[in-house]
Chains A and B, each alone.
Chain A
Amino acid sequence: MGALNEPMVKPSFFKGMRGRDTLWFYIFISPWLAGFLLLYFGPMIASLILSLTNYSVLLPTKFVGLYNFEQMIKDQLLTISIWNTVYYAGLSVPLGTVIALLLAVFLNREDIWGRSFFRSAYYIPSIMPIVAVSILWIWLLQPRYGLINSFLNLLSIRGPNWLGDPAWAKTGLVLMSLTGIGTSFVIFLAALQGVPRHLYEAAELDGANAVQKFFNVTVPMISPSIFFVLVIGFINSFQVFTQAYIMTEGGPADSTLFYVLYLYRQAFNYFKMGYASAMAWFLFIVIVILTVIQFRLSSRWVHYGS
């Protein structure tokens, strides 16, 4: 760009660039744009329409308005599945978050030997295939010869018939979920490394002990990560499926019939696709509301360090 030509050339040059940029932008993003329309937006609209019909492979399709949603309110099994899911998430997410946070805080100390060993040990179970882990845990939770009850027996506790007892099946699945906290743990570990040292030094000069430092420095400083882990944790556990499908098939006595398992059955076992779509939309709305509410709340107590 010569300085002399600038007044004349610049506008058209940049206009040309702008048009060219727009063209290239759309060329580069075209795979996603196609995917967005074909795999997300289109199906989303289709799902909304399906939820207002009685679509099933077996019957002629009719528009039924909000009938599916009315049925959902009356559906006893659906209520049970919601309760099971909330119970599971309510137990596994807070427990998992606390364990991940404590392990990360302990590992973040400067006087720890074998840090990379511990880091791998805590992380690796979370990337294991869920099907293999589920089958392993059926064996671990086996009432007589399983590892868990053998260990409890050592402490003179008679372990329950985990997956065979409606009162204990969900707890068994929660126990299994606690070994899969690796991602949360790594997020906490990275967040802890971002907390400035001088804050701890200042707290020490003020005579704070380890517990006080944890609650008054660590927790406020990494609260965005704690918050992120909690939200993602709830969103994921509301969609728990594979474990229950393989380990308990929703039983015993529907005690592990989780929401998505019930949705799957409605769609692919009973072919009530309209009803299942209505269920999917309810889940979607719950997830959106949860995200929005928690983000709102978080702005009050989450400390975003600069």
Chain B
Amino acid sequence: MEANRTADVQSNVAGQEQRSQFSAYRALRLLETSLVHVILVIGALAFIFPFYWLIITSIKSNAELFIWPPTLIPRTVELFHYGDALQEVPILRYMGNSTYLTVLNLIGVLISSSLVAFGFTRYHVPGSRILFAALLATMMLPHHVTMIPLFLVFRALGWVDTFRPLWVPAFLGNAFFIFLLRQFFASIPSELFDAARIDGSSEFGQYWRIMLPLSKPALTTVAIFQFQWTWNDFLNPLIYINSQSKKTIALGLQDFYKSQTTVEWQQLMAASVLMVAPVVLVFFFLQRYFIEGIALTGLKG
């Protein structure tokens, strides 16, 4: 656009005889635009096509699955693979467990992280800077360093093969979310809280009645990240859960694949579709919070 405008000015100055040169420039410009679109479309296909493939594999017939070249639009639609998969493994049970853990993690992380972020935003007391630096430093610590001692502690508490190791830590805050929320809280004028304090509002009242209602977008961002992490987490359930009845969907799906002697691709893909579906739904309803969340932390980090 800018270049076009510049070109416009130039062509006006240069006069009529350069008109043909100008249209050649326009044609080149059009060609470039089309080329960029072609690249973007190829890119989008590369990203999206695997998921299209996931869905159509889950409804193809056995005969159609193993032909060459593969059919891009399935000739048969066999929905019974979903029923078979549900019968083969307790997928709904797994999804129920994952939902239960997601809800507990959401409650824990929203309460604890917002309280802590409020503390770090509102009170500048001796030591608060050092503690905030310590908080940022924990984001660098790989989970694998603390994984083994934590396992030993939770085992000593008798928490192995219970849900507790998978949700109790959420109530003790999460450094990434505290950082994200503090970034957001800092943008809310502190005069609001000073005024409320003079009006006799308690400290907790300022947090609950002023900060939280004003921070819904940031809290939504926290919630969708936590949802995604709990729903997708594999390593922690792998370490802590043994019983069939307590498996999460991530662990259960992996188990389903590993337990098959001959791989039933349609059933596996059907189970995968069921695991992916909630994530896709959340994305489509709340996608702007995903993008904003990254901008809020990624850029200022």
Cβ of B22 under 8 Å from chain A: no
Contact residues of A between 1 and 59, Cβ < 8 Å to B: 18, 21-22, 24-29, 31-36, 38-40, 42-44, 46-47, 50
Q: Tell me if A's interface is mostly helix, strand, loop or mixed.
A: helix
Contact A125 B47 (CB under 8 A): yes
Contact partner of B116 (CB less than 8 A), chosen from A28, A47, A135, A139, is A28
A132 touches B275 (CB 8 A): yes
B257 contacts A280, CB within 8 Å?
Answer: no
B63 sits at the interface (CB 8 A): no
What are the residues of chain A within 8 A of B299 when measuring CB–CB? Answer: 187, 190-191, 225
A36-B135 in contact (CB<8A): yes
Q: Is the CB of A44 within 8 A of B298?
A: no
Contact of B119 among A24, A50, A241 (CB under 8 A): A24
Instruction: Quote the shortest CB–CB distance from B236 to chain A (angstroms).
Output: 11
**Docked-complex contact A29 and B116, CB < 8 angstroms:** yes
In the bound complex, do residue A287 and residue B119 qualify as a contact, i.e. CB atoms below 8 Å apart? no
* A46 partner residues in chain B, CB cutoff 8 A: 149, 152
Q: How far is the CA of A44 from the CA of B147 in the complex (A)?
A: 9
Given A190-B295, A190-B299, verify A27-B50 contact (CB < 8 Å).
no
Quick one: which of A103-162 are within 8 Å of B by CB?
103, 106-107, 109-113, 117-125, 127-132, 135-140, 144-145, 147, 150, 153-154
Complex contact A117–B149 (CB within 8 A):
no
User: Considering the chains assembled together, what is the distance between the CA atoms of A2 and B153 in angstroms?
Assistant: 56
Is the beta-carbon distance between B253 and A131 smaller than 8 angstroms? Answer: yes
Interface check B200, CB cutoff 8 A: no
Q: How many angstroms between the C-alpha atoms of A109 and B116 in the bound complex?
A: 41
Decide yes or no: A111 and B232 within 8 Å by CB, A36-B134, A129-B250, A190-B295 being known contacts: no
Q: Scan residues 285-306 of chain A and give those whose CB is less than 8 A from a CB of chain B.
A: 287-288, 291
User: How close is B85's CB to chain A, nearest CB, in angstroms?
Assistant: 12
Q: Do A121 and B48 touch (CB < 8 A)?
A: yes
**Residues of A155-179 whose CB lies within 8 A of B:** 179
Does the CB pair B287–A120 fall under 8 Å? yes
Per-residue 0/1 for B32-58: is the Cβ within 8 Å of any A Cβ (1 yes, 0 no)? Answer: 110011011001101111110110010
Q: Which of A27, A137, A273 contacts B148 (CB 8 A)?
A: A273
Within B1-32, the residues touching A (CB, 8 Å) are: 1-3, 6, 32
Are B148 and A284 interface neighbours, CB within 8 A? no
Are the CB atoms of B253 and A50 closer together than 8 Å? no
Total A-B contacts with CB atoms under 8 angstroms apart: 269
How many Å lie between the Cα of A231 and that of B70 in the bound state? 40
Within 8 A of B (CB), among A203-221: 204-205, 210
CB of A277 within 8 A of CB of B257, answer: no
Residues on A with C-beta less than 8 A from B138 are: 36, 40
> Contact partner of A179 among B47, B152, B287, CB < 8 A?
B47
**In this assembly, does A69 line the interface, its C-beta being within 8 Å of a C-beta of chain B?**
no
Binary per-residue interface labels of chain A (268-287) against chain B in the complex, 1 for a CB within 8 Å, 0 otherwise: 10000100110011011001
Asked whether B122 is an interface residue with its Cβ less than 8 Å from the other chain, the reply is: yes
- For B272, the closest partner residue in chain A by CB is A132
Which residues of chain B are within 8 angstroms of A127 by Cβ–Cβ distance?
228, 279, 283, 290
* CB<8 Å pairs between A and B, sample of 16: A29-B131, A32-B113, A34-B172, A43-B149, A47-B148, A111-B36, A112-B40, A113-B37, A125-B48, A125-B51, A129-B249, A145-B65, A187-B299, A190-B298, A235-B142, A284-B141
Besides A139-B269, A144-B68, 12 other A-B contacts (C-beta < 8 A): A21-B123, A35-B112, A35-B169, A112-B40, A124-B280, A128-B51, A145-B68, A153-B69, A187-B299, A190-B295, A228-B298, A242-B234
Binding site for A on B (CB under 8 A): 1-3, 6, 32-33, 36-37, 39-40, 43-44, 46-51, 53-54, 57, 65-70, 111-113, 115-116, 118-120, 122-126, 128, 131, 134-135, 138, 140-153, 169, 171-173, 175, 178, 203, 207, 228, 231-232, 234-235, 238-239, 249-251, 253-254, 257, 265, 268-269, 272, 275-276, 279-280, 283, 287, 290-291, 294-295, 298-299, 301
